[in-house]
Amino acid sequence: EVQLVESGGGLVQPGGSLRLSCASSGFTFNDYWMNWVRQAPGKGLEWVANIKQDGSEKNYVDSVKGRFTISRDNGNKSLHLQMNSLRAEDTAIYYCVRDTWLSFDVWGQGTLVTVSS
Amino acid sequence: QSVLTQPPSASGTPGQRVTISCSGSSSNIGSNTVNWYQQFPGTAPKLLIYSNNQRPSGVPDRFSGSASDTSASLAISGLQSEDEADYYCAAWDDGLYGFVFGTGTKVTVL
C-alpha cells in the first residue's frame, strides 16, 4: 500500500524551531518530487515547498523562504521540513505529498503545528 | 496566499449538475494544467482530476474537468449526498515558481 506518514508536529513558541518528518512506503521514493502543503485551521490549502528526486532543486513559497528548509533522505525513504523562526501564522496542519506529473496524488494524514506562547 | 479564485460556495439538489469555476492568470492556468482536489472535514485532500480533465482510478465519471485560457471548471453531474465536501483547484505558477491553490469551494447538497 502506498503510504505517507508525517510526524514531528506539536506546540512551539514564536521564534522557535520544529522539524517535521515524513516516512514513505509502498513506492519507489526516489522516483518522485515531494512536497509539503499546509492548511491553517478553517482555511484553505497552501503549498509550502518541494524537492526534486535527487535533492538538487528546492522551491519555497515566499512566506517561508529563509526560515524553512526541505530535505530528503532517499536511503531511508523520508522527507523532512526544518522550520525555524516560527510565527503564529505558521500554525497549520502540514501534509507530506507526492507529486506525479505536477499533480498531488498521494497525501499523508497530516501533522499539526501550533505556534503560540 | 491564494492566486486562483473560486466561488466560496455552490449547492444543488440530488441529481442536479453543479459547476465550480477557477480563475487564474497566464502564468498558472494559462501555461500549465489544472488539478482538482476533494476534501472532507478532518481528512486529507484527495486528487479528483489531474491534467485538466483526467480522472484517477476510482473517481466516479460524474466528476469532470475542463480548462480554457486562464480559467478552469469542475462539474459534478448527478450530484449525490456524498459529494458534499470542499473542492480546490491548483496549478503550477511559472512566475511564482511554485504551486498555487484556489480559494476553495464548499459544495452543499440540499
* Confidence grade of residue B1 (pLDDT, cut at 50, 70, 90): low
Q: How many Cβ atoms are within 10 Å of A30's Cβ, its own excluded?
A: 15
Cβ–Cβ gap A46/B101 under 8 Å? yes
pLDDT tens digits for B19-76?
999 999 999 999 999 999 999 999 999 999 999 999 999 999 999 999 999 999 999 9
Chain A: give the shortest CA distance to residue B47, in Å.
Answer: 6
In this predicted structure, the answer to whether residue A10 has a pLDDT above a threshold of 70 is yes
* Confidence grade of residue B3 (pLDDT, cut at 50, 70, 90): confident
The three-point CA angle A86-B95-A42 to 5° equals 45
**How far from the centroid of its chain's Cα atoms is residue B90's Cα?**
8
Contact A104, A35 (CB under 8 A): yes
Of B32, B45, B56, the CB nearest to A102: B32
Residues with Cβ within 8 Å of residue A105, at least 6 apart in sequence: A98, A99, B47, B50, B56
**How far from the centroid of its chain's Cα atoms is residue B5's Cα?**
11
Cβ–Cβ gap B44/A103 under 8 Å? no
Q: Give B-chain residues touching A103 at CB under 8 angstroms.
A: 33, 35, 47, 50-51
Contact B37, B62 (CB under 8 A): no
